Amino acid sequence: MLPLIVFVYGFVVVLSLKFLGRACARKMFATRPPLPPGPPSDPIIGHLRIIPSQHQPNAFHDWSKTYGDVMQLRVPGRSIIILSSDKAATDLLEKRGLNYSSRPNFIIMDIMGWGQSLAFLPYGKRFLRHRKIVSQPLGREEIKLYQPIQIQAVQVLLKALLARPTCYEEAVHRFTTSTIVEMAFGHRITSDDDIYLTLAREHTYSVDNSGPPGNTPVDFLPCLRYFPSWFPGTYFAEWARTWSRVPHAIREIPYGTLIRDIEQGHNNPSILGQEIQKMLDTGSKTEARISDIKDAAAIIFGAGVDSTEATLSIFFLLMMRHPECQKKAQAEIDSVLGGGRLPNHDDRPHLPYVEALFQEIKRWFPVVPLGLPHLCMNDDIYRGMFIPKGSIVFANARAISLDESVYHDPARFYPERFLPKPEGRGEPHFTAAFGYGRRICPGRLVADATLWLASASILSMFNVEVLPDKNGRYVVPTPEFCEGLAHHPNPFDCNVVVRSGHAETIISQAC
């Protein structure tokens, strides 16, 4: 009898659970709104086959024209949300910032040694500690401290361009590395064979060739990192292991140098120097604290040099392609400065056309076009669409910069769009280049100040011209870009010609 009772009881329980389960599932799916739309996908592998490995920002932008500014793609194990308007990115990444402030795992970056650095940390206590170390000294008032560094580095840049008018690349590399290294580590670069110039090149090379960020086979299947290097899908893990000496050096060299200097009573003002001094003053020199300081300082170099360099290279490319804009900016600078000196930060509000031109450079080609991925930490519903917990969210700055509802004829390089009406179109400045919300680029203000000063100073002293080819023909280079974490223009020829003998004297007398 007992077995029969147990059997009947069990049967009833299983049956009710089954119906209950179905009812719950029905209820859940009935109440759960649909996922954001996206292109047709394959079973199991989702959109893996159609997501291109190159030119992703452009492909996502094209898809957004059909599927809208909130679009979903699926790859095994994860859902990817692409935001293609400033409104959607602001609504989710800023207004609901707490839910979208984490990062997915970046296994390759972790193997390389960048895993504990601010840019790749998940939201949590360590993130908050690092974010404070990096962002506090980079506030609007605080960055004024670095103006002398920027002015001095611009003078060196102008001298280098005067001495070697066709070698903009080396001059730009030294300029961007110098400003960041002096601000972050208190070290002034005085020669072309400085260790930090080499490290900056190696860093760009190692990161740019480490595969699509967070999207390599090892990121999808983390256990692959433990497989031998001949095993299919492990290429980028091996690459990351080979280059791990670079982040190691960026983490250790500045700290080692500065702690020695400070303990001997010297301390050039710098972000790392201030943090070390605070640590020593408060007697909090623990392994954990030292590790936080080293990682936070290293990412200023890691995140700052490459993107600033890419933007300044684009400045040269665009000035060469748009001599009419160059002339207009030069006329404004000449009339305000009287042609007798180099521009400084205080001149900025008095140069509205130069400002518009500078803003248009940042809009025309955002150098980190997909930003860095944010992670959705809890299920969310936006405009009636379901965004599952664990989704990776990209704000596509390329699409936002080309949004026709905001920017008239967006593919055109047209600084006047930012001038107030009726002279211009009064369009809003493009801020998506620096990301959104609690993960917004903490270096944006200092990058902006450095790049503005460099652009205005170059325009005041030089004409950026097309270099004739071997046959004496003037062919304007077509913009082509290589894609890393930051997108750089492919090397192009250009000739930086000093505007007058007087300009030459000003440059020679500077420094």
441 is in an annotated binding site: yes
Sequence-distant (≥ 6) Cβ neighbours of residue 78 within 8 angstroms: 104, 390, 391, 392
Piece of 21-29, 59-67, 108-116, 303-311 that binds ligand HEM (CB under 6 A)? 303-311
| Nearer to ligand HEM among residue 211 and residue 443 (C-beta) | 443
Binding of residue 392 to ligand HEM (CB under 6 A) = no
| Nearer to ligand HEM among residue 293 and residue 299 (C-beta) | 299
Q: How many residues bind ligand HEM (CB under 6 A)?
A: 27
Binding of residue 273 to ligand HEM (CB under 6 A) = no
Residue 5 backbone zone (phi > 0: left; psi -120 to 50: alpha; other: beta): alpha
| Nearer to ligand HEM among residue 393 and residue 496 (C-beta) | 393
Q: How far, in whole angstroms, is CA 156 from its chain's centroid?
A: 25
Binding of residue 434 to ligand HEM (CB under 6 A) = yes
**Contact yes or no for 145/472 (Cβ under 8 A):** no
**Contacts with ligand HEM in 111-130 (CB under 6 A)?**
118-119
Report the DSSP beta bridge partners of residue 386. 381
Does residue 442 have a cis peptide bond before it, meaning omega lies within 30 degrees of 0? no
Binding of residue 303 to ligand HEM (CB under 6 A) = yes
Q: Return the structure tokens found at 387.
A: 């965004």
Among 165, 213, 304, 410, binds ligand HEM (CB under 6 A): 304
Radius of gyration for the chain, computed over Cα atoms and rounded to the nearest angstrom: 26
| Nearer to ligand HEM among residue 104 and residue 415 (C-beta) | 104
Least spacing, CB of residue 11 vs ligand HEM, in Å: 54
Among 160, 200, 279, 368, binds ligand HEM (CB under 6 A): 368
Binding of residue 213 to ligand HEM (CB under 6 A) = no
Q: What is the C-alpha to C-alpha distance for residues 207 and 488, in angstroms, rounded to an integer?
A: 13
Among 111, 447, 498, 506, binds ligand HEM (CB under 6 A): 447
| Nearer to ligand HEM among residue 38 and residue 443 (C-beta) | 443
Binding of residue 315 to ligand HEM (CB under 6 A) = no
Q: What is the C-alpha to C-alpha distance for residues 100 and 438, in angstroms, rounded to an integer?
A: 8
DSSP SS3 for 482 = strand
Q: What is the C-alpha to C-alpha distance for residues 249 and 237, in angstroms, rounded to an integer?
A: 19
Q: What is the C-alpha to C-alpha distance for residues 160 and 178, in angstroms, rounded to an integer?
A: 13
Least spacing, CB of residue 493 vs ligand HEM, in Å: 24
Outline where 245-346 has alpha helix (H): 245-263, 271-281, 287-321, 323-337
Binding of residue 440 to ligand HEM (CB under 6 A) = yes
Least spacing, CB of residue 403 vs ligand HEM, in Å: 17
**Contact yes or no for 486/367 (Cβ under 8 A):** yes
Piece of 229-237, 287-295, 375-383, 428-436 that binds ligand HEM (CB under 6 A)? 428-436
- CB-side neighbour CA atoms (13 Å) of 399: 30
Angle among Cα 312, 336, 310 to the nearest 5 degrees reads 5
Among 435, 456, 485, 494, binds ligand HEM (CB under 6 A): 435
**Contact yes or no for 156/178 (Cβ under 8 A):** yes
**Contact yes or no for 328/353 (Cβ under 8 A):** yes
Piece of 42-50, 209-217, 435-443, 473-481 that binds ligand HEM (CB under 6 A)? 435-443
Least spacing, CB of residue 312 vs ligand HEM, in Å: 8
Piece of 10-18, 250-258, 363-371, 400-408 that binds ligand HEM (CB under 6 A)? 363-371
Q: What is the C-alpha to C-alpha distance for residues 46 and 50, in angstroms, rounded to an integer?
A: 9
Piece of 66-74, 342-350, 403-411, 437-445 that binds ligand HEM (CB under 6 A)? 437-445
Q: Return the structure tokens found at 229.
A: 């290097």
| Nearer to ligand HEM among residue 363 and residue 439 (C-beta) | 439
Binding of residue 300 to ligand HEM (CB under 6 A) = yes
Among 372, 376, 485, 498, binds ligand HEM (CB under 6 A): 372
Q: What are the start-end ranges of the E strands in 358-412?
A: 374-375, 380-382, 385-387, 392-395
DSSP SS3 for 3 = helix
Amino acid at 114: W
Binding of residue 485 to ligand HEM (CB under 6 A) = no
**Contact yes or no for 461/498 (Cβ under 8 A):** yes
Among 443, 461, 462, 498, binds ligand HEM (CB under 6 A): 443
Binding residues for heme: 441
Residues in binding site: 441
Note the residues at the interface with ligand HEM (CB under 6 A): 118-119, 131, 134, 138, 299-300, 303-304, 307-308, 311, 367-368, 371-372, 433-436, 439-443, 446-447
